[in-house]
Amino acid sequence: MTTAVASVTTIDETVTVGIGAVSFSDVIAVARRGAGIVLDESALDAVAATRTIIDDLASDVEPHYGISTGFGALATTFITEDRRAQLQASLVRSHAAGSGPEVEREVVRALMLLRLSTLMTGRTGIRPTTASAYAAVLNAGITPVVREYGSLGCSGDLAPLAHCALTIMGEGEVRDANGTLMSSADALAAAGIEPVVLAEKEGLALINGTDGMLGMLTLALEDLSRLLTTADVAAAMSVEALLGSTAVFADDLQALRPQLGQADSAANLRALLDGSPLVASHAGPECTSVQDAYSLRCSPQVHGAARDTANHAALIAARELASAVDNPVVTPDGRVESNGNFHGAPIAYVLDFLAIAAADVASMSERRTDRHLDVSRNKGLPPFLAHEVGVDSGLMIAQYTAAGIVSEMKRLAMPASVDSIPSSAMQEDHVSMGWAAARKLRKSIDGLGRVLAIEIMTAARSLDLRAPLQPGAATGAVRHLVRTQVEGPGHDRFLSPEIESVVELVASGEILDAAAAHTGALN
């Protein structure tokens, strides 16, 4: 029996993986902060106990799928005992058929943690040493090279997971903790990890899960939690700078339509605009404005709907985190049964749903940005917020950039999960395309952050141009933060670096921190 020894590298943060589900925060810690893995000893005992069932079936003269037979359309082919190690290795090698650019390190670490979590439920029949090897690779900071294309989301994320399984076999390519590309054999040797020779059932157990799409869903929910609150900050700055009304955000008006996300978003807007001199400057009876445009007035409704969508997606993700997805699976009473739990439909649907919500929030943000620049709608600000009209173009093309991103996000909102393409000689005749849904959602989330950054940068310039009137404390703090990276109004400058600087402020959460320093924690 092979053994695996974790690298001696010191890891400050650890996550314990046992029989129970890993949490959202566990996934983020391992994927993004490089947290290490500790395997629960009692769970390893349960894994060992389940393995005895597989060993007994392996010696049975009757064929058992995934243990003594081929796979997929070859499930009726009996494999003799002397060929089964080759069977498992061949399965992994043949399924590691990805193509295209490398998938991001955080995605690979997330999917590996989630596969390990299923292995540790004791429902897959793998050996404890195989689970330990998986943990050791994560702890050593070794990242298998996983390619963009290859998964149909059923039977799970086969190709991506096969690339990871190939690594513990000492085959294929990886990047070490420093990002250096090397062979798996060299990386394992450097970390003191002995390659695994897979036994019966283990190849299937390592590749038959929804872990890639689930990992990307979990990462997306973390990002959206930040971005949807940032959207409220951007909207507040625009309402303020465009002399919009805050009366529509009143709590009693929101209560007439008891949508939870809407209420949270409106509460954020009230907190962000509380005490604003700019709002007070036109709040009296002399104000002639009757109703603001929808992009201002209805921002809680749209942002709130996106929040509710994210909450629904989080519910589905939590259920999947608590799942033991494998085929065949070892039941608690010791049966080994085929099943269809690897089908990614539940995750694929919500991934697509989130792409729709992200596109709509970005679309509304872009409309607010455009409003700042249009002299017929911006209530006294110069055209395109230009310093010298006619000579300068101001932020005209920044809006083009936002518009181009939004247009792309609308295309990305086309559901992947409504598509299906048969595979494996029509044995796998309906697939989820959940991996594709997850990949496009990652691009959409990146786009949302950029569109919001452009709105915040634009609104900050509008607020400057409203001087001597001043914004409220929270929005003023955001404007001040932007000014640490981007100069105020003036003649035209090279805009791309300024946009990227604000994109980083959004991505890092600094925008939210600046606002929350004055409002307290935002919803």
Instruction: Summarize pLDDT for 88-142 with one digit per residue, the tens.
Output: 899 999 999 999 999 999 999 999 999 999 999 999 999 999 999 999 999 999 9
The pair of three-digit structure tokens given for residue 283, joined into one six-digit string = 């709040």
* pTM, two decimal places: 0.94
- pLDDT at residue 341, rounded to an integer: 86
The CATH code of the domain at 14-209 is 1.10.275.10
> Tokens 């046992």 belong to which residue?
18
Residues of the chain within CATH 1.20.200.10 domain(s) are 217-519
Q: Where are the alpha helices (DSSP H) in 120-210?
A: 128-139, 158-168, 184-191, 202-207
Which residues of the chain fall short of a pLDDT of 70?
1-11, 70-76, 284-290
Per-residue burial over 192-209, b if 16 or more Cβ lie within 10 Å, else e, is: ebbbbebbbbbbbbbbbb
Distance of CA 249 to the CA centre of its chain: 30
Residue 101 burial by Cβ neighbours in a 10 Å radius (0-12, 13-18, 19+) = exposed
Of 65, 149, 349, 400, the catalytic one is 65
CATH architecture of 217-519: Up-down Bundle (1.20)
Please say if 65 is a catalytic residue: yes
Is residue 412 within 8 Å of 440, Cβ to Cβ?
A: yes
Closest C-alpha among 92, 67, 89 to residue 77: 67
Residues of the chain within CATH 1.10.275.10 domain(s) are 14-209
For residue 177, count other CB atoms closer than 10 A to its CB: 16
Q: Where are the alpha helices (DSSP H) in 466-495?
A: 473-483
> Tokens 């299937």 belong to which residue?
204
- pLDDT at residue 76, rounded to an integer: 67
- pLDDT at residue 283, rounded to an integer: 78
- pLDDT at residue 296, rounded to an integer: 97
| H or E segment to which residue 147 belongs | strand 147-149
| H or E segment to which residue 181 belongs | strand 181-183
Is residue 196 within 8 Å of 129, Cβ to Cβ?
A: yes
Is residue 511 within 8 Å of 454, Cβ to Cβ?
A: no
The pair of three-digit structure tokens given for residue 86, joined into one six-digit string = 């080759």
